[in-house]
Chains A and B, each alone.
Chain A
Amino acid sequence: MSPHEGLAAGLATLLDAPVSGLSRLSGGASQETWAFDTMRDGAVTPLILRRAPPGAELRGNGNPGLAAEADLIRRVGAAGVPVPAVVAVLQPGDGLGEGFVMARLQGETLGRRIAAAHRPALAWQVGAALARIHAVDMAGAPELRCSQPLAEVAHQADWHARHGMVRPVFQLALRWLADHAPADVARPALVHGDFRNGNLMVDLQAEGGALVGVLDWELAYLGDPMADLGWLGVNSWRYGRHQRPVGGFGHWAQLFDGYRSAGGTVDEARVRWWQVLGSLRWGVICESMGHAWLSGAEPVMEKAAIGRRASEAEIDLLELLLPLAPAH
């Protein structure tokens, strides 16, 4: 039996239903995403498996892990956030590694297509979903890392320093962020951690767009809820539609109105601070990929290309911190 057939057989046992169409979607060495269908009572159910295969070493970068991710998705789903339903969580006895099976939703995830139009209803729904995430009761939840504004600046400074690349603009941003850091939040909330256009599944057929699912919970942590709003506003996720600051599809007022409608409180100064931190963070992420290629750790061509994208964070930081009048 091939590993592929072995996985299909294992899933069929786990779900007590025939499995078909198993295909690998994406993932690195330590984490895989698979699509497949099961048949139950004559109906096809489209599913997704996210797993770390047996023996895979999970990168120790503060990720909560896949079992924790499944718990979070169930929690936010119960709180009214659109997410794929978790169907099963892998157990050690299954021999399939660590991970979970969830519903395969239908919708658009490509950021460029989502940003191609003004979608006021979507921006509002996204705001409401964020407020519900940030209000989730975390009693009894798996332990997540906790981070606060100033600690996050120190983290980015360290990470940047480890890459050994000299960037005066990043130093300017680190200085501004340290000088303007908001106070630690008294009650850290659940923060998605990678809430951006690209991790949202959207029904583009619905009038004004409709949020189908919030994906990719692997970077969730406890901290300042405004971090998610600021990250969503980073220019790189606008796909060239800078006049629509929320993911290229909406405006701040629409996002904030949706956030308040679901009981959230917006602190616009904090959102702006996290937007600056987010631009820097994206730049350091790009740099880390270039560094991974330069060091030989990840000899994948695209990593080298993304390394050169750190410059887009530099120009966005300049526009935020030292704005010039546009030349036209």
Chain B
Amino acid sequence: MQDLPNPEQLLAAVARFLRDEAGPALARHGDNALAYQARVAANMVDTVARQTVQAPAADAAELRRLQVLLGLPGEADLATLNRRLADRIADGTLTSDQPGLAAHLWATTLAKLAVDQPAYDTFVRHQPAAAPNPP
């Protein structure tokens, strides 16, 4: 058994260092480009933390939806199923009026943005608890 702090906590510590200490120090030093890179790095660490927490359940749900949508209950590899879906859309055997397709693509895409871009406005607008848009 590993000790505390756990990975999530360690990542939070790194992100806070980059965002609140390293970035501002670089900016005070006059290096705005590096200060910006520090903020990018902090955001990347946050992405890793969110993916660690969210991906297992999101991937499992995506896998179940794809098995039903494609009629492949025995295929358990998510990458294979996604390739099949992309191919069927590309060759026209699956079209956007196929029941379940729109719901699947939305659910999958929202799960991606919840990890890599939770502040992106289109994602925020599609959250049940979204705050009203500013005027």
Contacts and interface: CB of A to CB of B under 8 A. Distances in A.
Contact of B105 (A166, A172, A241, A308): A172
A309 B106 CA distance: 16
B130 A324 contact: no
Contacts of B67: none
B41 A171 contact: no
B11 interface: no
A186 interface: no
B116 A308 contact: yes
B128 interface: yes
Interface string A285-322: 00000000000000001101100110110111011011
A243 B133 CA distance: 9
Given A175-B92, A235-B122, A308 B86 contact: no
B13 interface: no
Interface stretch (B1-9, B20-28, B53-61, B77-85): B77-85
Contacts of A58: none
Looking at chain A's contact residues, the main secondary structure is helix
Contacts of A321: 96
B105 A169 contact: yes
Contacts of A167: 86
A327 B124 CA distance: 10
B64 interface: no
Nearest to A172: B89
B15 to A, nearest CB: 13
Interface string B35-78: 00100110110010000000000000000000000000000000
Nearest to B116: A308
Nearest to B111: A311
A304 B44 contact: yes
A312 B113 contact: yes
A240 B90 contact: no
A242 B125 contact: yes
A3 interface: no
B102 interface: yes
Contacts of B79: 166
A176 B89 CA distance: 10
A171 B41 CA distance: 31
Nearest to A319: B122
Interface of A: 166-172, 174-176, 235, 238, 240-243, 301-302, 304-305, 308-309, 311-312, 314-316, 318-319, 321-322, 324, 326-328
9 closest cross-chain pairs (CB), A and B: A308-B116, A171-B89, A240-B121, A311-B112, A171-B90, A322-B102, A327-B128, A168-B85, A168-B86
